[in-house]
Amino acid sequence: MTHPSALDSRASWLRLAISLAIAVVGNVGMWAIIVIMPAMQTEFGVERADASIPYTLTMIGFALGNYYIGRVVDRWGITVALSGAALMLGVGFGLGAFAPNIWVLSALQLITGFGSAACFGPLIADISHWFLKRRGIAVAIAASGNYLSGGIWPLVLAEVLAGPGGWRSAYLIIAATCVAVMIPLSLLLRAQVSEAGRAEAESAAASRALTSGFSPRALTWLLAVAGIGCCVAMSMPQVHIVALSADLGYGPAVGAEMLSLMLFGGVASRLVSGALADRIGGVATLLIGSGLQCVALFLYLPTSGLNALYLVSLIFGLSQGGIVPSYAVVVREYLPAREAGQRVGFVMMSTILGMALGGWMSGWIYDLTGSYQWAFLNGIAFNLVNIAIIGLILIRSRPRRRGTVPA
């Protein structure tokens, strides 16, 4: 059915609240493997690089899901996408609890990653249709579900890991929770924005569209490459902070706390960045976040003390949280609304591929060097590539003449 409400209405905010709740549950697929990595590595008796493979395949599935589920949303709506994703999460985590080796677990992580993707890019694209004046903050709130999930679930899973069932019991709990929560809530999102609202959003996109000397396709690919760069950098602390904590003798539970602190800081960063994007635009906001992330990565290099690691992890979260949502804002500012699902999904896919690549690269560098120092430096180098691309887009951007917005 078609919802009669205008953009930025009470119905829009209610839909955002439901979307946030779904995102907190469904994004567990991205974080669970990080928390169980030390226990899983010990049980299967593999090296750190091999132990990173399940995470890498999770993120590959997450990346592909952002694009392909985004296309499903454009065609059939978010409810169909979320219901199917919940079933995939139930199957992936349920079977994963019985995986006999790391290779079977890795294959199943591809499924869980794909399912979790529905709760990120596609959900963000859907909510972006319901807001105009407050689109930046709305997108940021929807995207914060990913970090809230990463802040809450590691604490819950750490308690389960300490029990007799270990990580396998944790996976069964996740499977049941995803199915029980996501499917009923997704049915509340069956309404679609009115045609008048869509027309209003398209008109605003045309009037706000920017020309940077790039075609829409070229601009989309530039954003994709920039997304890979920033997220290779972002993955080093996010993926390996639990393992780093264990290496330093503080234990995986302390690492899980650092990850939660990092991600809660990321939530605050996303909200501030969303409000900022409504004032100065997505590209400028993205460049600020990328610069701050690079500074925070440098702070990890000399840090090994317990309190210092807590502090730097919080600083990192506060620095980088707004980066990925800003890509969605940029896509909606520059490109046609009717292609929001696939275009946002494609750029989100690139950021997740960056996370997957960076997560594996950091483990590989660790195995080669016995330390995470060069892994941090590798992240900094990729971050500088990201800054260069976004800076170029910002410098070359200028208002587009009326009638020249491409379809």
pLDDT for 4 equals 47
**Is pTM, for the whole model, over 0.85?**
no
Hey, is 398 helix, strand or coil?
strand
- Compute mean pLDDT per 10 residues along the chain, 407 residues long, and list them: 62 93 92 83 81 84 88 87 95 93 93 93 88 86 86 81 81 94 94 60 48 72 92 88 85 83 86 88 91 93 88 91 86 71 82 85 88 90 94 74 41
DSSP letters along 327-345, please?
A: HHHHHHHHS-GGGHHHHHH
Domain ranges of the chain: 10-398
How far, in Å, are 66, 68, 133, 146, 256 from residue 118 at the CA level?
6, 9, 25, 11, 25
State the pLDDT at residue 208.
45
- Write the burial class of residue 26 (CB in 10 Å: 0-12 exposed, 13-18 middle, 19+ buried): buried
The tokens for 145 are 């579900």
Predicted pLDDT of residue 377: 93
- Cα gap 159→116, rounded to integer Å: 22
Q: Which residues make Cβ contacts (< 8 Å) with residue 215, sequence separation at least 6?
A: 406
Q: Which pLDDT value is given to residue 193?
A: 67
Pick the CATH number of 10-398 from 2.40.30.10, 1.10.10.10, 1.20.1250.20, 3.40.50.2300: 1.20.1250.20
